[in-house]
Homo-oligomer: A and B are copies of this chain.
């Protein structure tokens, strides 16, 4: 999906919501737990219930890899569902945090852009340019580099101050931005440090930011909007657990739909301010 199409979808749905499919088999609704296709049935129902309100889905690969070959089969089924659901096209992200030397990152790009046809993959920047560049060679596909994450461990290295006066995450933003464009590169900026989103936005004024941490992790959507929006919105805000597990009963999809709609309505309010 190209930049202009993503912005169009955001305007059409009045939403910059990304629904995170971090599907934990143990947390499935009671009637689906332990059934042969429970994970995929759950994903299908969540996608159908939330797609009027979401422009993006983010599939956390770890939760599938934990189930071995069966999990990888589920991942293949779910990207199939995401690419074929009845609503408008969505921006589908493999949240995989990959990154390795160039010849290996090439293989990861094949994995998540070809074998599993996602629109984007999250990548870890520690190994530098050749670990990210292979993901930037596919027209219409995106790398989403970690910059400042939403977890406690973000303080360990990302917030280290460099000799040049910057925090490491600011250096990562400034340097990584030179390897791609606003059309193939986004950055992860966690909502649990909303005041730092302003620093992220200052470093990369024109890039989209993928913002996890709203919902179960405690971040505020209002803060994310205030500190992070740019003239083309420039935000995809992810919520996972608060939507997926809104109910553990047979009404889980309806409950997920309501949670997604609440976020979408708040987003529509902010978008209306832009005019």
Contacts and interface: CB of A to CB of B under 8 A. Distances in A.
Given A62-B108, A100-B62, A101-B150, A157 B126 contact: yes
A99 interface: yes
A3 B261 CA distance: 53
A88 interface: no
Given A66-B108, A73-B69, A98-B97, A160 B168 contact: yes
Contact of A128 (B22, B114, B131, B157): B157
A152 B126 contact: no
A151 interface: yes
Interface in A65-81: 65-69, 71-73, 76
Contacts of A149: 101, 126-127
B124 A97 contact: yes
A44 interface: no
A264 interface: no
B157 A171 contact: yes
A71 B115 contact: yes
A68 B63 contact: no
A67 B115 contact: yes
B105 A62 contact: yes
A32 interface: no
Contacts of A72: 68-69, 72
Interface in A13-34: 22, 24
12 contacts: A60-B100, A66-B107, A66-B108, A67-B115, A101-B150, A102-B153, A127-B151, A127-B154, A128-B152, A129-B152, A130-B153, A163-B163
- List the 5 closest A-B pairs by CB distance, nearest first: A128-B153, A128-B156, A68-B115, A65-B111, A62-B107
